[in-house]
C-alpha cells in the first residue's frame, strides 16, 4: 500500500510540475527518480557556452524522504519544502558539474534559501546528475 501511495504522490508531483511549465514557458523533460524525488530538466533554456559546457535548469520535486533529508541538512525551515530549481553547468568532456544557483520553493510558493556555489565537482557514478549528463551531453 505504501508503494502505491508513493507512486501516486510522484504522479501528482509530476502533474504539478508540468502545470508550472505552462506558466513559466519551460519545457520540462523527465530524466529520473530516486528515493529523494523526481527530476526534470528544461529543454527550452539549455545553453551551450562552448563545445563541452552546457547550462541547464533542473527542477527537483521532493519525496517525503527528500524533504526529510533537507530538514536534517538545513533545519526546520525545510519542513514545508515542495521543489527546487537549480541552474547547473555541466562539462560534458570532463564529466563534472557545478551548481550556479539553487532556489527552494515551499508548498505555499514562498522562495527561500537561495544558494550559490561555483566549484566544479566530478559527477558521481549512479547519481541523478550522471543521468542528466547522459541525457544532455549526447
pLDDT tier for residue 77 given thresholds of 50, 70 and 90: confident
pLDDT tens digits for 18-67? 444 444 568 999 999 999 999 999 999 999 988 899 999 999 999 999 99
pTM: 0.77
Average model confidence (pLDDT) for the chain?
84
Question: According to the model, what pLDDT value does residue 21 have?
Answer: 43
Report the C-alpha gap between 96 and 120 in whole angstroms. Answer: 6
List, in order of start, the domains of the chain with CATH numbers: 2-136 (2.40.128)
* pLDDT on residue 118: 78
pLDDT at 31: 95
Amino acid at each position: 500500500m505504501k508503494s502505491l501511495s508513493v507512486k501516486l504522490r510522484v504522479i501528482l508531483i509530476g502533474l504539478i510540475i508540468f502545470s508550472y511549465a505552462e506558466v513559466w514557458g519551460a519545457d520540462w523533460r523527465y530524466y529520473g527518480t530516486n528515493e529523494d524525488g523526481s527530476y526534470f530538466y528544461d529543454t527550452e533554456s539549455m545553453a551551450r557556452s562552448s563545445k563541452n559546457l552546457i547550462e541547464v535548469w533542473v527542477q527537483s520535486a521532493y519525496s517525503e524522504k527528500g524533504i526529510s533529508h533537507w530538514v536534517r541538512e538545513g533545519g526546520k525551515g525545510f519542513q514545508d519544502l515542495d521543489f527546487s530549481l537549480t541552474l547547473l553547468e555541466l562539462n560534458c568532456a570532463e564529466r563534472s558539474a557545478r551548481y550556479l544557483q539553487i532556489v527552494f520553493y515551499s508548498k505555499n510558493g514562498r522562495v527561500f534559501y537561495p544558494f550559490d556555489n561555483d566549484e566544479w565537482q566530478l559527477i558521481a557514478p549512479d547519481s541523478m546528475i550522471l543521468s542528466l549528463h547522459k541525457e544532455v551531453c549526447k
